Amino acid sequence: MQRFAAAGNPVLFIENTGVRAPTLSDLPRLASRVRNWWGGVEGFRERGPNLIVLSPLLLPFPYSPLARWLNARLLERAIRNWMEATRRGSVVLWTFIPTPLVLDLIADLAPSLTVYYCIDNFSASSPAAKAIEISENRLFETADLVFVTSRELSARARRCRPEAHIFPFGVDFESFDSRRGRTGEPSDVASIPHPRLGYIGGIHRWVDLDLLKRAATARPGCHFVLVGPTQTDVTSLAGLPNVHMLGTRSHTELPAYVASFDAGLIPYLLTEYTASVYPTKLNEYFAMGVPVISTALPEVTAYNESNGGVVDVARDHSGFNALIGEVLTRDGAGREARIEAARRNGWSERLKTMSAIMVDSLASKRARPEVMEGLLRRLTRRYRRPTAAVALTCAAAFAVLRWSPMVWGLAEPLRLVEAPTTADAVIVLGDGAGESGAIGQSHEERVDRAIQLYRQGLVGKVVLCSSTKWTFSEIEVMRAIALTKGVKDEDILLEPSGGSTREMIANSAGLARAKAWRKILLVSSPYHMRRAVGAWKKQAPGVGVVATPASRSSFYSYREQKHAAWRKAGPTWNQLKALLQETAALAFYRFRSWL
């Protein structure tokens, strides 16, 4: 899209609207979306000449009819605002995802041209994404043009339409080319001996970790350098001295890393999903002249057929290991052929051909009289929608959530308070960032509750659980509070390894079993107790638990004093967010049978 913008075309790039409902692991991504929206003007941010990025705030349920309808209204309004600002009467709609929301936008906006660039086998990427197949087939049928990145995806598209143009992902060849031979080694690579076998990209479940482990074990003199985020369990590689996982690096840094490799690796598993994968890193390696060793992905095999066999392809693990030795003895042979292959597969060449096809399709479409008739029908249907009813419904829902006490009643099942009894120990769950979003705001309240129970003689031990660290370690701060308020050092036990409710419960339950405790008192936030107690009963069914939440919660008792009395009955935005998050977490724990 940056290249289209650089060519003088006004571009509105809309960030991913999602192909599945979110899970708890998506919370950081959702938080990033909110930050992006907040950092712009109603979600719009200028990223360069002719390029505007929109970070929309939408309901994250792509297959819910109600969410889909509301999201389409919100997104259509934002797009039309941009069209008005740029004085565009019509648009070319280019989409990378085939969700029902995209189909709605096509119907609402009546674009001059609809282009679907199919870059992934979404229905095979995860069980949660299989619902997308129906809407994708409709998009295959209705889009004016379909571009795909692989032969496998082309075959899928041609089950619904007569033609799909194959355009594998290109490489920003000019960027890599300008830095070839002119960049120094990154400091974290310079100390790693040669030969270096490198990989760039996410270390995810499609990477054959067993293949890498076998190769690293068989060749202790070679060093395997992995540059990218860790997205799966890499325990099998962690103990190998010649495997170096450097973590995430920005795309602008990649040429320097690739240039430091003696060979680039594409160690992917062969699965239904990877059958349609075209590895972008292939051309990035070649742009720097680096030889490539790959597993036998269908798209890599096809690349070889079109580019003179420049990729070394292994059919099995032993063949992969053998190719490593063979490639390292070639001493630069084939370097120019690799660079030329990358040049042919650069984005500049790709987009020239894509643009020509789009211009021809647009001219052909405009010559058809039924296009204008369809446009008039869609415009008529759009303006008949009951937008007033939606506005009233949203306003009523807002008032109920924000200003009435109903939310507190609905959240009451999250609370669990029991009368404290004599027990072996009191276990305190640290708050980490806490429900307030402010680090360390409520751990003192929880520790105070434990101290109160300790002073009453109900328990003899105080267990503090937290792995959170900021300027200070939270667990050490909690310990200092307990010591200052009279708890004996020998009566304090620390459990510093848990980063989530489930992990803290599992670790402290293990401690309880090791100590042969029969009953414990559990302390956390008032609205966290239902989940915490349920998790304890699942982890330690033989150890009794009594819910004894913090006696006070400054976070939940806060009311916005600037509002009139009738508006103070409802929760603040932060409180509402915390209650919704806890409700979602409780549902997720039940779904995973963790309660």
Beta bridge partners of 520: 425, 545
pLDDT band at 166 (very low <50, low <70, confident <90, very high): very high
pLDDT at 564: 46
pLDDT at 393: 78
Tell me if domain 2-170+360-382 and domain 173-343 are identical in fold. yes
> Average of pLDDT values for 216-220?
96
pLDDT at 566: 46
pLDDT band at 129 (very low <50, low <70, confident <90, very high): low
- pLDDT tens digits along 45-98: 887 787 888 888 888 888 888 888 998 999 898 888 888 888 877 888 989 888
pLDDT at 563: 47
- One CATH from 3.30.70, 3.20.20, 1.20.1530, 3.40.50 for 2-170+360-382: 3.40.50
Structure-model confidence comparison of residues 124 and 175, the more confident one: 175
Report CA torsion sign: 161, 166, 172, 174: negative
Residue 30 has pLDDT above 90, yes or no: no
Domain boundaries, the chain: 2-170+360-382, 173-343, 413-558
- Among the residue ranges 62-76, 133-147, 368-382, the one predicted with the least confidence is 368-382
pLDDT at 35: 80
Residue 561 has pLDDT above 50, yes or no: no
* Residue 266 and residue 297 in contact, taking contact as beta carbons nearer than 8 Å: yes
pLDDT band at 378 (very low <50, low <70, confident <90, very high): low
Parallel/antiparallel/unpaired status of strands 44-48 and 51-54: antiparallel
Structure-model confidence comparison of residues 82 and 369, the more confident one: 82
User: Any idea which fold 413-558 has?
Assistant: Rossmann fold (3.40.50)
pLDDT at 347: 86
User: Nearest Cα to 260, choosing from 197, 335, 320?
Assistant: 197
The DSSP line for 65-121 is: HHHHHHHHHHHHHHHHHHHHHTT-S--EEEES---HHHHHHHHHH--SEEEEEE-S-
DSSP 280: T
Q: Is the pTM of this model over 0.75?
A: no
pLDDT at 379: 52
SS (H, E, C) 468-518: CECCCEHHHHHHHHHHHCCCCHHHEEEECCCCCHHHHHHHHHHHHHHCCCC
User: Nearest Cα to 133, choosing from 122, 143, 141, 142?
Assistant: 122
CA angle 156, 157, 158 (to 5 degrees): 95
Give the three-state DSSP class for 206. coil
> Average of pLDDT values for 190-199?
96
State what percent of residues in the chain have pLDDT above 90: 48
CB atoms under 10 Å from CB of 251, counted, come to 10
In terms of CATH architecture, what is 173-343? Answer: 3-Layer(aba) Sandwich (3.40)
pLDDT at 385: 56
* Residue 3 and residue 347 in contact, taking contact as beta carbons nearer than 8 Å: yes
pLDDT at 433: 44
* Residue 246 and residue 198 in contact, taking contact as beta carbons nearer than 8 Å: no
pLDDT at 588: 93
**Letter string b/e over residues 455-477, b meaning 16 or more CB atoms within 10 A of that residue's CB:** eeebbebbbbbbbbeeeebbbeb
Residue 375 has pLDDT above 60, yes or no: no
> Average of pLDDT values for 349-363?
88
Average pLDDT score, the chain: 86
Structure-model confidence comparison of residues 507 and 368, the more confident one: 507
| 375 membership: H or E segment, kind and range | helix 370-383
| C-alpha count within 13 angstroms, C-beta hemisphere, residue 328 | 18
- pLDDT tens digits along 291-305: 999 999 999 999 999
* Residue 68 and residue 29 in contact, taking contact as beta carbons nearer than 8 Å: no
User: Measured between alpha carbons, how far is 52 from 477 in angstroms, rounded to an integer?
Assistant: 46
